[in-house]
């Protein structure tokens, strides 16, 4: 085995809470599911591939994810039918939003076929799911129309700068920013909106891009969101002094723009939103995701399903719950639902809050000091 392979956890057994699936709660009923901190399950992030064509330094650094890195074999990946089956069961638990992630999800062959299947799922109250996808934008121009036609509602594009030198330094594969911008324009054209653009801000790398990015997306209908550089996984060499706090970003913006906070009416919202107005009356919206300095664990209603069917309850978890084995061992839908309910009902993860207090373990649910799961494995 290559020393560049990062083991996540064994995948040949269903092993929530180390060894055994917890019993289903006695008051289990679809749509009434809450965890130990009274947080409902409303948002499911589904990773469809562990591969990416970028080597962003904060996510898949080239030093680790090189040509010798061993990706998951195809047989380990959930099929589209398995993903759809689980998505239906999660919708019965109250999930209202599904986000397709990766790796880079547009690298998954025929991804639009999965979108079409997921778009037919209804929430508990009979509404359409909020079906979204996060992408680095490299393939978006050629895929946008097919994704929209398949039923995708909107996209979020990761873009860390407009200057080609800065952007190429971040993606580390010499990919030009012009092709990502072309993808965003195509997504706007076909109606994959409202579009969000996520910019991870890392001190010493792209701090200077805050102003140009804001100016570029004003009056475009695109919401720009600045994200604090996070301590996700074990390969990005995260250091606190490379984090640019959202308050500092706000000060930079306030020097050139009028900012007005927008009240959020959405439960579990991760971004603090602002209406932005320039001196020449151009307007737009920006968001600040304070994932390090201002924890939002108390309202976190998200679960994450990995490419091979591991369910993670926190972005900073060190191990997951093996749903793939349940799918392939003949468990009925009702039995799998009971497992999901039991897993969520025992959840007590609040990594960012504990980190802020100076003592976060790598996984509050599992209570061990194992390496945190990589963001490229479960998506952001």
Tens of pLDDT, residue by residue over 215-266, are 999 999 999 999 998 766 555 566 788 899 999 999 999 999 999 999 876 7
Q: How many domains does the chain have?
A: 1
> Looking at the predicted structure, is the pLDDT value of residue 267 above 90?
no
362 falls in which pLDDT band (50, 70, 90)?
Answer: very low
16 part of a folded domain: no
At 343, which CATH number? 3.20.20.70
352 part of a folded domain: yes
Q: What pLDDT is recorded for position 221?
A: 92
252 part of a folded domain: yes
Residue in 47, 33, 1 with CA at minimum distance from that of residue 311:
47
> Looking at the predicted structure, is the pLDDT value of residue 58 above 90?
no
Q: How confident is the model over 40-59, as a mean pLDDT?
A: 92
318 falls in which pLDDT band (50, 70, 90)?
Answer: confident
Residue in this structure with the two tokens 């999660």, named with its chain if needed? 90
Residue in 16, 61, 346 with CA at minimum distance from that of residue 232:
61
pLDDT digits (tens, 9 = 90+) for 283-301: 999 999 988 888 778 889 9
Return the higher-pLDDT residue of 207 and 21.
Answer: 207
Q: What pLDDT is recorded for position 100?
A: 98
Domain hosting 91: range is 43-378
pLDDT digits (tens, 9 = 90+) for 70-111: 999 999 999 999 999 999 999 999 999 999 999 999 999 999
343 part of a folded domain: yes
17 part of a folded domain: no
Helical residues (DSSP H) of the chain, grouped into ranges: 80-92, 111-118, 140-150, 164-171, 177-190, 210-217, 246-254, 323-328, 333-345, 351-356, 375-378
34 part of a folded domain: no
20 falls in which pLDDT band (50, 70, 90)?
Answer: very low
- State phi, psi for 365 to the nearest 5 degrees: -70, -45
6 part of a folded domain: no
Please give the Cα distance from 322 to 118 (Å, whole number).
Answer: 21
157 part of a folded domain: yes
pTM, two decimals, is 0.87
């Amino acid at each position: 085995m290559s020393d560049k392979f990062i083991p996540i956890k064994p995948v040949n057994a269903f092993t929530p809470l180390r060894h055994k699936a917890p019993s289903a709660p006695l008051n289990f009923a679809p749509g009434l599911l809450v965890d130990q901190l009274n947080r409902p399950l409303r948002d499911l992030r589904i990773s469809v591939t562990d591969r990416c064509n970028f080597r962003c330094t904060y996510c898949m650094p080239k030093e680790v994810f090189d040509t010798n890195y061993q990706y998951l074999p195809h047989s380990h990946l959930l099929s589209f039918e398995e993903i759809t089956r689980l998505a239906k069961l999660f919708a019965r638990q109250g999930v209202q939003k599904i986000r397709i992630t990766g790796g880079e999800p547009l690298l998954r062959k025929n991804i639009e076929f999965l979108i079409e299947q997921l778009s037919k799922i209804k929430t508990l109250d009979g509404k359409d799911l909020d079906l979204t996808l996060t992408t680095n934008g490299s393939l978006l121009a050629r895929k946008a129309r097919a994704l929209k036609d398949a039923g995708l509602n909107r996209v979020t594009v990761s873009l860390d700068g407009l200057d080609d030198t800065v952007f190429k330094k971040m993606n580390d594969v010499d990919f030009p920013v012009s092709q990502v911008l072309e993808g965003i324009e195509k997504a706007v054209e076909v109606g994959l909106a409202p579009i969000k653009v996520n910019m991870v801000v890392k001190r010493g790398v792209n701090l200077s891009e805050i102003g140009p990015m804001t100016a570029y997306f004003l009056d475009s209908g695109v919401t720009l969101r600045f994200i604090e550089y996070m301590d996700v996984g074990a390969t990005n060499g995260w250091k606190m002094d490379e984090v640019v706090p959202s308050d500092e970003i706000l000060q930079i913006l306030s020097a050139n723009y009028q900012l007005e906070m927008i009240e959020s009416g959405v439960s579990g919202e991760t971004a603090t939103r602002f209406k932005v107005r320039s001196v020449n009356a151009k307007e737009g919206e920006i968001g600040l995701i304070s994932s390090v300095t201002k924890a939002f664990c108390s309202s976190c209603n998200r679960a994450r399903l990995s490419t091979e069917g591991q369910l993670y309850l926190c972005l900073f978890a060190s191990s997951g719950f093996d749903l793939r084995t349940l799918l392939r061992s003949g468990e009925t839908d009702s039995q799998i639902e009971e497992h999901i309910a039991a897993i969520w009902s025992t959840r007590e993860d609040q990594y960012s809050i504990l980190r802020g207090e100076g003592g976060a373990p790598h996984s509050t649910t599992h209570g061990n000091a194992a390496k945190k799961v990589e963001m490229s494995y479960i998506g952001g």
